[in-house]
Copies of this chain bind each other. A is one copy, B any other.
Amino acid sequence: MAVIESIPNVSEGRRGDVIERLAASIRGTPGVRLLDYSSDPSHNRSVFTLAGDAAPLKVAIEALFEAAVASIDLRVHQGEHPRLGAVDVVPFVPIEGVTMETCVALAAEVGRSIAERFGIPVFLYEEAASHPGRRNLEDIRRGEFEGLAAKMSSPGWAPDFGPAAPHPSAGASVIGARMPLIAYNINLNTDRLDVARKIAAAVRHSTGGLRFVKAMGVKVDERNLAQVSMNLTNYQKTPIFRVFEMVKREAARYGVSILESEVVGLVPSAALIPAAEYYLQLERFGPEQILENKLKADS
């Protein structure tokens, strides 16, 4: 069975009864598992993590939209996190036995259906984007709900599906497909924030570094140390070990060493195995040699 993950971000992080109704809408779908959900009141936003095959996932996301559209009104929504709509962003992520192409097709299918059922304009993003200017979520979301009507009436911002103007209360939704995102931090053996910032600037894509790394230098006050805080957006093309080694090398330039690293949240084993291969100098090794894969393949 294929496993696809979806991580819808919904613009409600304060009203507990609404959040529970949203969770219930997902849980009520056979073939879908709600793995996790968490809410941030200051962002006024909740993030749900669900997994399943394509068809049941589509049903669950539609149920989530139904519950969200009934309870959330962007005209009275306030929060720190930028947002365009009630169900703000819906990525589909290939996990197991499924290709990126399948997730791209699923994003388009769900997008078309949401637009038809709810009259909500849908923008496709990342791997599902209809053109390069729509790959980045930040570009689509710029202007937020408050600026959406004006943005959609300007050239180049017709939605991929649905009406040419925002839904009055639910705004618009951004739906797409992407690789699993890994939240990866490296703690330095120093409290110097300037060093963490210089390293972040060296390794991240936006300022000349590795293609699939987003990074910033931050201070971890309670431990009095500086941290390179990163998102790895494609662990296949920019593997963790290469990021680690580059940070280590840049840190050495300032006489600083790595204290430790940490993965925040979930990580596919396929993102860690290559680090074992790299450091153990493993040759002639393939995924079919991993016992769990062999057991799955034969079942």
Contact = CB atoms under 8 A, between A and B. Distances in A.
Given A35-B295, A96-B292, A180-B291, A285 B266 contact: no
Q: How many copies does the complex hold?
A: 2
B291 A262 contact: no
Given A35-B295, A272-B276, A276-B275, A261 B282 contact: yes
B295 A51 contact: yes
A96 B293 CA distance: 12
Interface residues of A, number: 43
Given A290-B268, A292-B268, A260 B282 contact: yes
A39 to B, nearest CB: 19
Contacts of A279: 241, 244, 275-276, 278-279
A273 interface: yes
A19 to B, nearest CB: 19
Nearest to A287: B269
A33 interface: yes
A220 interface: no
A174 to B, nearest CB: 23
Nearest to A273: B272
In this complex, which of A96, A258, A281, A285 has the most chain B Cβ atoms within 10 angstroms of its Cβ?
A281
A3 interface: yes
DSSP majority for the A interface?
mixed
Contacts of A260: 281-283
A280 interface: yes
A265 B284 CA distance: 11
A289 interface: yes
Given A51-B295, A298-B35, A299-B33, A269 B290 contact: yes
Interface string A234-248: 000000110010000
Contacts of A96: 292, 295
Nearest to A282: B261
A97 to B, nearest CB: 12
A294 interface: yes
A164 interface: no
A251 B139 CA distance: 54
A95 interface: yes
A130 to B, nearest CB: 29
15 contacts: A33-B295, A33-B298, A35-B295, A51-B295, A95-B291, A95-B295, A240-B280, A241-B279, A262-B282, A263-B282, A266-B291, A268-B292, A273-B273, A275-B275, A275-B276
Given A268-B290, A292-B292, 13 more contacts: A33-B295, A51-B295, A96-B295, A240-B280, A244-B279, A244-B280, A262-B283, A263-B289, A266-B289, A266-B291, A269-B273, A269-B292, A272-B272
